[in-house]
Chain A
Amino acid sequence: MSAPILETRALQKNFGALTVAQNIDFSLEPGTFEALIGPNGAGKSTFVNLLTGLVQPTSGSVILDGEDVTALSIEARVKRGLVRTFQINTLFNSLTVAENVILALDEFHGQGWRPLPSPSRRRLIRDEAYEILGRLGLDPWGNREVRELPYGRQRLVEIAIALALRPKVLLLDEPAAGIPSTETGTVIEVLENLASNLAVLIIEHDMDLVFRFAQRITVLVQGAVLARGTPDEIANNETVKSVYLGEGIHA
């Protein structure tokens, strides 16, 4: 096994008396596709927030590519290749779809401080943005403001922005939630075509999707890791069945 690209050690987060992350040891290897599942309120999104720095842990550490990034800012982690999508759309609503992606590309290419326009570079970045939008079938909407799009299609913009940042580690927080079932195909297609050296952690309630892609599954219940293993192991794990799968999650 290669060295993990992303790791947590004894990661703990309390909101007052509520423990939402309990002593979590987690690791993700390059090129693997993992899923994080668990009932609502289990602390999955909080875990992603802890990984990315949006929430500071009570104790424990986050290690990215061998480097302890616990004290680093959100943006510093992004610059190191740790990229996420949000469970609830977090977009530039009154900018156009293309502009949303262009903003991300500008940052990725280190142009964010550039105080003068450059038409030629602008064209390059625009083309790159449309190339990414094309992969998600969003190119016809490039010139539309995000808020004019139906919510499900806005979800895809979340993914487009993440792809623009060329992640090493991609954290997807329920990417298919809110997308009409007729259009989950686009998401699946994108997931299939992700670069093979990319490490992915996906939070998803759709078990078909999880079992189709995930090489490993972590089950989180009340902030603690209940089980961790291959899809087969998880599917046959009695505790998981009784605690989680047994509850009849909306698949």
Chain B
Amino acid sequence: MARPIPRNEPVKSLSVSYQGAAASSTWRGLAMGRGGSDLVIAVLLGLAALATLLFGEAYWLLAAQVAITMIFALSVDLLVGFAGIVTLGHAVFFGLGAYAVGIASVQFGWTEPLSALLLAGAVSALLGAATGVLVLRTRGLGQLMLTMAFASLVYEIANRAKPLTGGADGLQGMVVSPVAGLFEFDIFGLTAFVYTLAVLIVVVIFAVLMTRSPYGRSLVGIRENRVRMQAIGTGVQRRLLSIYIVSAALAGIAGALLAQTSQFVGLNVLHFSLSGEILIIVALGGAGRLWGALLGAVVFTLFKDRLSALDPAYWYFWLGLLLAVIVLFAPKGLIGLVDRLLALFRSKEAA
């Protein structure tokens, strides 16, 4: 007969094979000890940010980029890792956010950064609502296609609308007022770094809370079993649309940050390769785990910075190889490796 099992049995979860994105982890996290990895990563990232702030003057601009990529990665992880919607066109929201603040500044003199950030989020959310309704009507390949088609469409529009966007030359002459009327964007990137870091912290808190809420859990439920979610009374379509919009808004904010900190917007913010890269970042870190996405964003951006300086071709090769290895041998991503390391330590301690 059944052996009663204590509710907080120690981590056996690690033996569980990959299913979809790292399934239950987010949710069962604290109870089963996987929260350990989250905590370790959070502490390490916090220390790294602090060290960069204090001693890494030369890296402030790069760090701002990392923070922006992290926000973008979170937006995609919420959609792909949690709700299980695969997209290959998320750059469209990132890019739209960037162009929104850029055009607002150049055309309308809207240079105040914080309100412009909200503007970008709102504009991207609107596009998310409009395309989400359509994208979510299909599944599988059709869905993937629609996300790509919409992104390509917007890319073409931005390319053609030269008077507004500057076309292939990019949007020049963007002005950004000091943050809170006090902090001028400086050439060292100190303001850029602190500003993006602050926004990142807000977004992370928001995302962490959301994924632990009933709403966040219902997204995981939809990913795991859509039919059952309906059968317990969930309006699946509306819930997916809502996260699509939230994710679009976050991506838009990330794009806006890029525009504000670099005071330039190029067509590459809408390009397919950006949509691909951000998906890679999420998988690299571990889809379905917020702290994984954050870790992935750091590792990826640093690697890219180092390797693409050498030769873009090499960068593509290493990126491809890394991705292949991750998919084939570590489908839970970097955070999965951290999980394993921690488990190793724990079992050593116990022994």
Contact = CB atoms under 8 A, between A and B. Distances in A.
A168 interface: no
A102 B218 CA distance: 10
Given A90-B228, A95-B23, A103 B221 contact: yes
Interface string B211-231: 011111110110011011111
B137 interface: no
Interface string A85-121: 0100011111110010011101110011111111000
B31 interface: yes
A93 B224 contact: yes
A111 B214 contact: yes
Contact of A95 (B27, B213, B242): B27
Interface in B124-163: none
B306 interface: no
B232 interface: yes
Contacts of A86: 228, 231
Contact of B232 (A99, A104, A114, A145): A104
Contacts of B224: 92-95
Contact of A112 (B23, B28, B218, B220): B218
Interface stretch (B5-13, B35-43, B90-98, B340-348): B5-13
Contacts of A74: 230-231
A44 interface: no
B225 A93 contact: yes
A141 to B, nearest CB: 7
A137 B1 CA distance: 12
A106 B222 CA distance: 14
Interface residues of A, number: 42
B233 A115 contact: no
A136 interface: no
B236 interface: yes
A114 B28 contact: no
Contacts of B234: 75, 107, 112
Interface in A64-94: 73-75, 78-79, 83-84, 86, 90-94
Nearest to A78: B233
Nearest to B229: A103
B235 interface: yes
A143 B9 contact: yes
Contacts of A142: 7
Q: Which one of A91, A93, A165 has the highest number of Cβ atoms from chain B below 10 Å of its Cβ?
A: A93
Nearest to A77: B233
Contacts of A143: 5, 7-9, 31-32
B217 A103 contact: yes
A116 B20 contact: no
A83 B233 CA distance: 9
A248 interface: no
A106 B231 contact: no
Given A92-B224, A93-B19, A95-B224, A84 B218 contact: no
Contacts of B309: none
B209 interface: yes
Contacts of A16: none
Nearest to B23: A94
B213 A114 contact: yes
B5 A144 contact: yes
B236 to A, nearest CB: 7
Contacts of A102: 217
B16 interface: yes
Nearest to B2: A140
A50 to B, nearest CB: 14
Contacts of A137: 2
**When A and B form their complex, which 9 residue pairs have the shortest distance between CB atoms, in order from nearest?**
A78-B233, A94-B23, A111-B214, A106-B214, A92-B224, A117-B212, A74-B230, A104-B232, A140-B4
